[in-house]
Structure 1
Amino acid sequence: MDQAQKAEIVKKALTEGIINDPQWLHKLDEPMPAWAVIELIVKLLEKLDPPYDTYD
């Protein structure tokens, strides 16, 4: 995967609120810490199935 493709993925993740640190655009080939990967998964899960309260 080339740098342009990686940058596009990071930009999409920033736009969608999956990640919030634009510095990842400059660290495309660096590994992410486990806590950061877990945080991404949790945010993604919350977007797919948001917690909600009933109106009753």
Structure 2
Amino acid sequence: MEAWKQELGRKALEAGIIKDPQWLDRLDEPMPLWVMLEMAFQLIEKLDPPTVSYD
């Protein structure tokens, strides 16, 4: 596997984007849609967190 893919996988693991270290050995395999959706929702929540009233 290419070094850039391994580095990308390591960064994703450290950032919590992927939680299972076994994915690092399978970076060339197709990813299930539910994984992509989960990552998209995590990104949305980080970029636009729910507003909290300070009242």
Using the TM superposition, give the Cα deviation of residue 23 of structure 1 relative to its aligned residue in structure 2, in angstroms: 1.0
Structure 1 runs (4+) deviating above 4 angstroms are none
Q: Describe the SS at the equivalent of 1:13.
A: helix
Is the alpha carbon distance of 1:49 and 1:7 closer, same or farther for their aligned partners in structure 2, counting shifts above 3 Å? same
Q: Partner of 2:37 in structure 1?
A: 38
TM normalised by structure 1 equals: 0.80
Q: Which runs of 5+ in 2 are unaligned?
A: none
Q: Describe the SS at the equivalent of 1:39.
A: helix
Task: Count residues with an aligned counterpart.
Answer: 55
Q: Partner of 2:16 in structure 1?
A: 17
Using the TM superposition, give the Cα deviation of residue 12 of structure 1 relative to its aligned residue in structure 2, in angstroms: 1.1
Q: Describe the SS at the equivalent of 1:28.
A: coil
Percent of residue pairs bearing the same amino acid type: 56
TM normalised by structure 2 equals: 0.81
Q: In 2, Cα distance between the equivalents of 1:44 and 1:38?
A: 10
Q: Which runs of 5+ in 1 are unaligned?
A: none
